[in-house]
């Protein structure tokens, strides 16, 4: 795997989960949506997607309200916060047998490929790649899902810290 691609995957994981949460889990691969470093919610088996519907809450513990006025809920799980329906579709498409770290990486790389960001990542055009991938990960700047979004500067720093080289 290209060094910049490895760094970009780490950047997405840091963006979605935080470096602290990665450090206290199986590098993020076993994290359920809604986890925090102070209150991690981890799953135990990679046999399948954990398929748990979680109501999202803010730092105070209040429900996060979606654009429709109802509390946001998600089945996102793993290092890249992959939703159940996305996993089910890519499990078939990529011929995956489980929700293992390798399977999660394969789905994330496929999502990046579909965003046409792979060449940008490999060339070090991280800002362009982040912009192209923002529809896939709610924590990327400009995603617009109503959840916490990181800044481009924070993500560029994470990319560099992960060994990535910015052009």
Window from 50-54, 58-62, 154-158 with minimum mean pLDDT: 58-62
What is the C-alpha to C-alpha distance for residues 49 and 87, in angstroms, rounded to an integer?
Answer: 7
Share of residues in the chain with pLDDT > 70 (%): 100
Neighbours of 67 (CB within 10 A): 9
Please, what are the domains in the chain? 3-161 (1.10.530.10)
Question: How do residues 43-56 score in pLDDT, each as one tens digit?
Answer: 999 999 999 999 98
Structure tokens at 51: 């398929």
Question: How do residues 92-135 score in pLDDT, each as one tens digit?
Answer: 999 999 999 999 999 999 999 999 999 999 999 999 999 999 99
Q: Measure the CA dihedral 99/109/79/140, to 10°.
A: -140
The single-letter DSSP state of residue 149 is -
Q: Is 16 a catalytic residue?
A: yes
pLDDT-based confidence at residue 144 (cuts at 50, 70, 90): confident
User: What is the pLDDT of the chain when averaged over all its residues?
Assistant: 94
Burial of 142 per CB tally in 10 Å (0-12, 13-18, 19+): exposed
What is the C-alpha to C-alpha distance for residues 161 and 74, in angstroms, rounded to an integer?
Answer: 30
Neighbours of 91 (CB within 10 A): 18
pLDDT exceeds 80 at position 59: no
DSSP-H helix ranges across 18-151: 19-23, 84-93, 101-114, 118-123, 126-133
- Top pLDDT among 14 and 57 is at 14
């Amino acid at each position: 795997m290209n060094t910049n691609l490895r760094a970009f995957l780490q950047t997405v994981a840091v963006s979605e989960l935080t470096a602290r949460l990665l450090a206290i889990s199986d590098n993020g691969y076993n994290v359920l949506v809604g986890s925090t470093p102070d209150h991690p919610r981890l799953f135990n088996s990679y046999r399948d997607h954990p398929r748990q519907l979680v109501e999202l809450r803010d730092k105070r513990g209040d429900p996060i309200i979606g654009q429709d006025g109802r509390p946001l809920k998600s089945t996102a799980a793993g290092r890249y916060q992959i939703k159940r329906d996305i996993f089910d579709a890519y499990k078939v498409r990529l011929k995956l047998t489980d929700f293992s770290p390798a399977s999660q990486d394969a789905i994330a790389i496929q999502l990046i490929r579909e965003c046409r960001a792979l060449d940008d990542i490999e060339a070090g055009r991280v800002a362009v790649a982040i912009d192209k991938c923002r529809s896939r990960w709610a924590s990327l700047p400009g995603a617009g899902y109503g959840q916490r979004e990181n800044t481009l500067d924070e993500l560029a720093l994470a990319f560099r810290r992960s060994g990535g080289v910015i052009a």
